[in-house]
A and B are shown apart, each in its own frame.
Chain A
Amino acid sequence: MAPSNSFPGDLNEHPSPSPSTPPFRSSRRALCLWLPTFELRLELVRSPELDTTSVALLSSGERTRRTLWQVSERAYDAGVRPGQRISQAISLCPSLTLLEPDPAHYDAAVDAMLEVLADLAPVIEPAGRGQVFLGMDGLERLYGSSARQVERVLRSLFRVLPAPVVASIRAGMAPGTFGAWVAAVSARPGRPMIVSEAELPAFLARCPVDALPVDPPTIRRLERLGITLLGDLLRFPEPALVAQFGQEGRDALAWASGRRIDPVRAWHRPRPIRVSLDFPAPVSLTDTLHGALNRLVEQALARPARRGRSVVGVRLSARLEGGGSWSVEGILRNPTAVRERIAFLMRSRMALTPPPRAVEALLLEFFQFGPPVDQIGLFDRREEGGRAAAGRALARGEVPPSLRDAVRELKLRLGYSPLYRVVEVDPWSRVPERRHALLNFDP
């Protein structure tokens, strides 16, 4: 085939990005803010009288044999550990105060914190409630040196978080999220750890291997082999680590040597749709809660802010009688905008983890969305609109009433039917454009 077609001179005006160019909205230099036992600290701020006692926060999501989620330092000194059963913990520390988790309170604190941080750094990446990464590339022109940047970030948090919580934050700044995380773990509250690009390999070499984001069994195997520091890993050739640990061995070496730098990725959170319902009197009857849930799902689906999108992530929370909150969430395997499917998911979550007390108010939130699927309902024979009258199955070639109605409405509005049907013209043709055509659809 002869080369052909002289190419216009503007071809190179749009060079493709080189593979080494970081993706849009990411940052190589990372600041990690780590708030250990963030939720428990929020509870202690809310109830200062508990500060001098042994306190433990119960884990949520269990009906029987509940375990501890987070424990205070006093409780820890008494031998109480996260994951212990209540009975075991009480036997170790009879004066232990147990607290029910209040997820709505914690989420509100995180939302406020992220809002403030988003004003300071263009790239933020939350990694759970008590951990967030900030992309710090280019901020030296705004805020000065690295130390001043960290100081500025921490100072801004005083506006939205209680002072004892901010004072307990550990901050670490380094190239890449792994380096920043290890720096934050090594830092002390109020004493940020800042690691430069040149210092990173030496800094990482001194850190314990359990900082690696690999499976715990891999960490245990490494320790059994006498590899306790990241620097110990560097003594081994890569093929030997890969032979022992597979891909995890290769990743571990890349992290330990500082060769692998994971940038902070911009966090995308669509604006959630929230609807709520206040009960005139606290409700504990399951049927009443299910009825309220159905209404809330209907209301949320009808919100114009949904803009036809399907729903993927749903959270149901409740304000409980006597204070506190309860929350469950679910991710739909198939994005949908059908009320019953969303309500079914939430009902099953409620059955697994029911509210511990009577409910004063119920709040439903759609926090993750999928592509629009509303039109699928027009063709789905399982849907009411996709079946013939009286629920009978449609005959072959029969147009569902929902589709007929849709065409009628469109014709009233536009004056013609803008819908087309794909028809076979010459399906076995070797010439692709001869195989199918669009035929105006006007039943």
Chain B
Amino acid sequence: MSRRDPGNPDPANRRLRALGLPRSAVVRTGPDGEPAYVRLPGRPARRVRAIRESWRIDDEWWRRPISREYRAVVLDDGRLLTLYHDLLEGRWYVQKEES
């Protein structure tokens, strides 16, 4: 019997995978409403050292609306994160992580 990927046992499901899916993150905001601390699942919380950029996306209002406020932040360990605040769900996600 051949070995299978335990995380994804059905070969049919391996045909297509989305790339860059956002992951849930826990973010504590400062008094100005900007991210002050970020904790990714299974990792210690890190302080946000700087916010490099911010932008907003409002799209696909005709089917499933998307409304996000993005922040490109630098953490105190030097990593760069792209976070967004889902304005419809009220939750924070991390979209991209660079070391």
Residues of A within 8 A of B (CB): 1-5, 7-8, 10-14, 16, 413-416, 418, 420, 422, 430-433, 435-440
25 contacting pairs across A/B (C-beta < 8 A): A2-B33, A3-B30, A3-B31, A4-B27, A4-B85, A5-B90, A8-B26, A11-B37, A11-B39, A12-B45, A16-B76, A16-B77, A414-B3, A414-B5, A415-B3, A416-B14, A433-B18, A433-B20, A433-B21, A435-B20, A438-B16, A438-B18, A438-B19, A439-B15, A440-B15
B34's nearest neighbour on chain A, judged by CB, is A1
Residues on B with beta carbons closer than 8 Å to the beta carbon of A418: 5
B19's nearest neighbour on chain A, judged by CB, is A436
Check A432/B95 contact, CB under 8 A, given A416-B5, A416-B11, A437-B17.
yes
Taking A4-B29, A418-B5, A433-B20 as known contacts, 18 extra A-B pairs with beta carbons closer than 8 A to each other, sorted by chain A number, are A1-B85, A3-B30, A4-B85, A4-B92, A5-B27, A5-B91, A7-B39, A13-B44, A16-B47, A16-B76, A414-B5, A415-B4, A422-B19, A431-B66, A433-B21, A437-B17, A439-B15, A440-B14
Residues of B within 8 A of A (CB): 2-5, 11, 14-22, 26-31, 33-34, 37, 39, 44-47, 57, 59-60, 66, 69, 76-77, 82, 85, 90-92, 95-96
Check A16/B17 contact, CB under 8 A, given A5-B27, A11-B39.
no
Q: Which 7 A-B pairs have the closest CB atoms?
A: A415-B2, A14-B44, A7-B28, A438-B17, A3-B29, A1-B33, A16-B76
Residues on B with beta carbons closer than 8 Å to the beta carbon of A2: 33
Residues on A with beta carbons closer than 8 Å to the beta carbon of B59: 430-431
Verify A430–B2 contact, CB threshold 8 A: no
Kindly state the separation between the CA atoms of A56 and B17 in the bound complex, as whole angstroms. Answer: 69
Verify B4–A416 contact, CB threshold 8 A: yes
B60's nearest neighbour on chain A, judged by CB, is A431
Kindly state the separation between the CA atoms of A13 and B46 in the bound complex, as whole angstroms. Answer: 11
Residues on A with beta carbons closer than 8 Å to the beta carbon of B77: 16
Within 8 Å by CB of B19, from A12, A13, A437, lies A437
Check A16/B46 contact, CB under 8 A, given A3-B29, A5-B91, A431-B59.
yes
Check A14/B45 contact, CB under 8 A, given A4-B90, A5-B28, A415-B2.
yes
Kindly state the separation between the CA atoms of A64 and B12 in the bound complex, as whole angstroms. Answer: 70
Residues on A with beta carbons closer than 8 Å to the beta carbon of B22: 433
Residues on B with beta carbons closer than 8 Å to the beta carbon of A8: 26, 39
Residues on A with beta carbons closer than 8 Å to the beta carbon of B85: 1, 4
Residues on A with beta carbons closer than 8 Å to the beta carbon of B96: 432
Residues on A with beta carbons closer than 8 Å to the beta carbon of B28: 5, 7, 11
Residues on A with beta carbons closer than 8 Å to the beta carbon of B15: 439-440
Verify B16–A440 contact, CB threshold 8 A: yes
Q: How far is the CB of A157 from chain B (nearest CB, A)?
A: 39
Residues on A with beta carbons closer than 8 Å to the beta carbon of B27: 4-5
Q: How far is the CB of A121 from chain B (nearest CB, A)?
A: 28
Kindly state the separation between the CA atoms of A436 and B2 in the bound complex, as whole angstroms. Answer: 30
Within 8 Å by CB of A7, from B19, B37, B46, lies B37
Q: How far is the CB of B27 from chain A (nearest CB, A)?
A: 6
Q: How far is the CB of A10 from chain B (nearest CB, A)?
A: 8
A412's nearest neighbour on chain B, judged by CB, is B2
Q: How far is the CB of B8 from chain A (nearest CB, A)?
A: 10
Verify B17–A7 contact, CB threshold 8 A: no
Residues on A with beta carbons closer than 8 Å to the beta carbon of B21: 433
Kindly state the separation between the CA atoms of A344 and B44 in the bound complex, as whole angstroms. Answer: 47
Kindly state the separation between the CA atoms of A432 and B22 in the bound complex, as whole angstroms. Answer: 9
Kindly state the separation between the CA atoms of A33 and B90 in the bound complex, as whole angstroms. Answer: 61
Residue picked from A414, A431, A435, most chain B C-beta under 10 Å: A431
Verify A5–B92 contact, CB threshold 8 A: yes
Residues on A with beta carbons closer than 8 Å to the beta carbon of B4: 414-416
Residues on B with beta carbons closer than 8 Å to the beta carbon of A13: 44
Kindly state the separation between the CA atoms of A437 and B21 in the bound complex, as whole angstroms. Answer: 10
Verify A420–B29 contact, CB threshold 8 A: no
B29's nearest neighbour on chain A, judged by CB, is A3
Q: How far is the CB of A122 from chain B (nearest CB, A)?
A: 24
Verify A431–B57 contact, CB threshold 8 A: yes
Residues on A with beta carbons closer than 8 Å to the beta carbon of B90: 4-5
Kindly state the separation between the CA atoms of A416 and B28 in the bound complex, as whole angstroms. Answer: 43
Verify A430–B57 contact, CB threshold 8 A: yes
Kindly state the separation between the CA atoms of A438 and B17 in the bound complex, as whole angstroms. Answer: 5
Kindly state the separation between the CA atoms of A432 and B82 in the bound complex, as whole angstroms. Answer: 11
Verify B95–A420 contact, CB threshold 8 A: no
Residues on B with beta carbons closer than 8 Å to the beta carbon of A11: 28, 37, 39, 45
Kindly state the separation between the CA atoms of A433 and B90 in the bound complex, as whole angstroms. Answer: 19
Q: How far is the CB of B61 from chain A (nearest CB, A)?
A: 12
Residues on A with beta carbons closer than 8 Å to the beta carbon of B30: 3
Residues on A with beta carbons closer than 8 Å to the beta carbon of B44: 13-14
Kindly state the separation between the CA atoms of A65 and B60 in the bound complex, as whole angstroms. Answer: 77
Verify A5–B26 contact, CB threshold 8 A: yes
Kindly state the separation between the CA atoms of A253 and B10 in the bound complex, as whole angstroms. Answer: 67
